[in-house]
A and B are shown apart, each in its own frame.
Chain A
Amino acid sequence: MVLALGLVLLADQLLFGLSGPWRTISDFLPRGHPLERGIVSDRLALRELRDVGAEARSVVILGNSRARAVFRRAQARRVDPRTVHIELSHAGMDLYESLATAYRLEPFDVDVTVLVLSEIELHSPVYLKPWAGVGSWRALGDLLHHLEPSTLLERRRDLLGLAASASLAAYRDRRVIHAAAVDSWRRFPLDRLDRLDRPSPPAVADALKPLAPMPNLRLSDAERAELAARLAPLLPHLPPAGLRAQIYQLAGVAPGPHTRLNEAVLLDLVEALRGIGSEVLLVEAPIHPVAEEVYDRALREPFLDLAEGLATREGVHFMPLEETGPFGPNDFADLTHLARHRDQAAPRMARRIAERARTLLDREVDSEADETPL
């Protein structure tokens, strides 16, 4: 059993470590799996970071799909060709996962880390996902340190899942492996059995129907109709189900005990990054103007206060929307993401982030030069 356990850990490292066959897995991943594709792309990015020479300057962009939407590597390279820009961002990456990723950056030489966040990430409930991109016992330890005993008991199954995923990459990455290979192999095609009385695909207008029972959203019929009219232009870009999911997600943005937990994890994240000698640039992620109807935009204030506090206490550099905007409705692909491949907002924002990162890098070089005893 002990020998078998050793073999399992060895195989786990060989197959799912940084040197694992991620390129091949990436080739096998079908479209329509943004999360899994993002996780694999992060592995490849980490490998790229590992291969960056010690002399090269590196900037890491860390965050969820909103970070992915605001950053374009090509733009950044144009602004600062001497620096390697690495994106470690995928759909659904929350602050805990970012913290785990930050610990994973320890062996590498990262000069600047860009965190792309807003009040949405600060006030969203914490989802403890065992299939998160990377696992880390240290991140789990930090999380346990911040949790109330009652929450520990209540979320024990999720926490055990995180512990398992921190111990065994095969467990953590099985979702990716399933999407890449296992699902197509083991699935029983049930098309003919699906001759059940299946409802017809929902009409576009149906996407807005679930607005009524949502706990944090109290709209009158007139307000709902107005919101529906304002959201309508988004529907060609976003399937009704996706829009519905986003509305639900935004309706869940509210202060609560999770806000304190998110703050604590964000502080750990900044400390972890500062601990590896990286400058931290916190960039406020933009949001579609219509989203103001779905949640209370006054929640931005606590986020700005937090960012200011981090800037004062931890030396974090902060770029609020006022520095990267303005953003109009046409700049967005949906309620929370900038349109990555059209319009001008995303390239503009990527450029500004890269410029600010370059300034930080240059300042670092200057200060190093100042320290030279010649």
Chain B
Amino acid sequence: MIFNSLEFGLFFGLVFGTYWCLGRRAQNYCLLVASYVFYGAWDWRFLGLIALSTAVDYWVGRLLGATETPARRKLLLSLSLLTNLGILGVFKYLDWLTTSFAELAASVGWTVDPLTLEVVLPVGISFYTFQTLSYTIDVYRRELAPTRNVVDFALFVAFFPQLVAGPIERASRLLPQIASRRHADLEGFQTAGWLILWGLIQKVVIADNLAAVVDAVYAPAARPTAAQVALGTFAFAIQIYCDFSGYSKIARGVARLLGFRLMVNFDLPYFSRDPAEIWRRWHISLSTWLRDYVYRSLRDRDRARHGRRGAAARSGRNLVLTMLLCGVWHGAGWHFVVWGLLQGLWLAGHRAWRARRPLWRPAAVWARQLQDLGRGLLTFTIICLTFIFFRAPTLGQALDLLVRLTGPWELHSIALWWRPLAFLVLPLALLETLQRITRDEWIVLRLPLVARAVLYACLVMVLVLFGEDFGQPFIYFQF
């Protein structure tokens, strides 16, 4: 069951109607059942994995709250890490690792029959694993008191608006909302309406229509021209952004209709002027998770061992390691590893460069704006280039496409692509530019009532008429 399906519309209508008729405690039971139904609609057997993860982390949390012995606390944390990362490893990475090992062995003349499970990847497993891990680590670090209520905790793990593709919520933010009374308010509903509508436009109209050109350029047997690779990759940058940020917006909107506030996951990332800014604005819930639980852990360990000596070099190494993990989190494939590595090198290189040569800023406002524009365009171009590794199904094809980019451009081969691209991308660019200039995410909600109603009506008609068939899955479900 996915957000952009009529089935979800019916499901949510029933949940919404029932939910607001109940008291707080019953509301949580209602949401928990709804969340399991929502997830079970894909494959009910994978509910067992969520239940296992929930049970282990609930009890580990309780036991961590009851013990002060460092060794025992470490043991409990290890149990949680082993269980959660073990499940993730087996279902997501085992086949890739064993197959890669067999290929490596074959290259030196040693034949190995790889052990593979060949099971479908449970949808959203990377998201809920990281979410539940954040709870245990926070409790271990004594940054969060463990919850005693198992229903609240189970709902924290399985809350359906963000279960399968985030945002990866922190327990410190979501658990208090689960534990307290929610209120239906008109402002919240208006906000939710806009988030859901624009999220659907991003997904069903922009991302799904762009998929046609992206899929063609990245088809395994395609032989695109340089211009087609460039425009196809640009289209992919827009597609994946609209697909994922559209999902996040719908998730926020759906949660808001239930009285919850989920974190902002995308903050106009393509207006970023350097790689660090990109990762502060793109998939914020993952990048902050990696920052708090991986990068800072590595940094604190280094500080404990080496103090401030060689901090800059170690910081660069830690950035690369963190982004490597980020790449592997996205999928089991060497092209994701390379993508993560490139992101890490870019971040570390940029940080080292800036440490030596701080950014010079001109005095005149217009000159600063021009400088920002240039930096933004450069950053966006580099993002697009790294996306080739993200989107290509194999490392070999990614390299082939990069080589093609150096070939003749044959601009006539994309002569007829401008019109549909402009039609799909310009409305998005216009809205986001306005949001950027005014620094107001809710600029549309500040329009006069009639203007807003006309805009909404137009968007609904656009959604119905120009949307690809409802029910296309979101890209991030595969991660």
A: residues with CB less than 8 A from B are 1, 3-5, 7-8, 11-12, 156-157, 160-161, 163-164, 168, 170-171, 174, 177-178, 182, 185-190, 192-197
Contacts and interface: CB of A to CB of B under 8 A. Distances in A.
Nearest to A169: B464
A161 B420 contact: no
Contact of A161 (B6, B193, B461, B465): B6
Nearest to B460: A8
Given A8-B460, A196-B219, A3 B417 contact: no
B466 A187 contact: no
Given A3-B450, A163-B6, A194-B216, 5 more contacts: A157-B7, A174-B465, A188-B212, A189-B417, A193-B222
B209 A4 contact: no
Contact of A3 (B5, B217, B449): B449
Contacts of B10: 160
A171 B465 CA distance: 7
A196 B222 contact: yes
B453 interface: yes
Contacts of B453: 3-4, 7
Contacts of A174: 464-465
Contacts of B449: 3
17 contacts: A1-B190, A4-B457, A7-B453, A7-B457, A8-B457, A8-B461, A11-B457, A157-B5, A157-B7, A160-B7, A170-B465, A188-B212, A188-B420, A190-B213, A192-B228, A193-B224, A196-B221
B417 A186 contact: no
Contacts of A7: 453-454, 456-457
B456 A1 contact: yes
B369 interface: no
A156 B9 CA distance: 12
Contacts of A190: 212-213, 216
B188 to A, nearest CB: 13
A192 B412 CA distance: 10
B365 interface: no
Contact of A170 (B5, B9, B219, B464): B464
Contacts of A188: 212-213, 216, 416-417, 420-421
B377 to A, nearest CB: 24
A186 B457 contact: no
Interface in B160-203: 189-190, 193
A157 B471 CA distance: 10
B413 interface: yes
Contacts of A189: 416-417
B460 A185 contact: no
Contacts of B25: none
Given A157-B5, A161-B6, A186 B219 contact: no
The 4 closest A-B pairs by CB, nearest first: A4-B456, A7-B457, A3-B453, A160-B6
B223 interface: yes
Contacts of B452: 4
A186 B6 contact: no
Nearest to B421: A188
Contacts of A186: 209, 420, 423-424, 466
A193 B190 contact: no
A177 B221 CA distance: 33
A209 to B, nearest CB: 24
Contacts of A178: 465
Nearest to A189: B416
Nearest to B235: A188
Most A Cβ at <10 Å: residue of B193, B423, B464, B466? B464
B6 A187 contact: no
A19 B190 CA distance: 34
A87 B216 CA distance: 42
Interface in B342-390: none
Contacts of B6: 157, 160-161, 163-164
A11 B453 CA distance: 13
Contacts of B419: 185
Given A171-B464, A190-B216, A197 B221 contact: yes
A194 B190 CA distance: 45
B225 interface: yes
Given A4-B457, A188-B212, A188-B420, A193 B5 contact: no
A140 to B, nearest CB: 13
A1 B189 CA distance: 10
Given A157-B5, A193-B224, A177 B420 contact: no
A298 to B, nearest CB: 39
A192 B413 CA distance: 7
A336 B351 CA distance: 72
Contacts of B7: 156-157, 160
Contacts of B460: 4-5, 8
Nearest to A198: B221
Contacts of A156: 7
A182 B464 CA distance: 12
A334 to B, nearest CB: 29
B28 to A, nearest CB: 27
Interface string B451-479: 01111110011001110000100000000
Contacts of A160: 6-7, 9-10
B217 A182 contact: no
Contacts of B424: 186
Nearest to A159: B6
A119 to B, nearest CB: 33
B227 to A, nearest CB: 10
Nearest to B453: A3
Contact of B420 (A8, A12, A163, A185): A185
B225 A192 contact: yes
A193 B410 CA distance: 13
B160 to A, nearest CB: 18
Nearest to B205: A186
B211 to A, nearest CB: 10
A197 B223 CA distance: 10
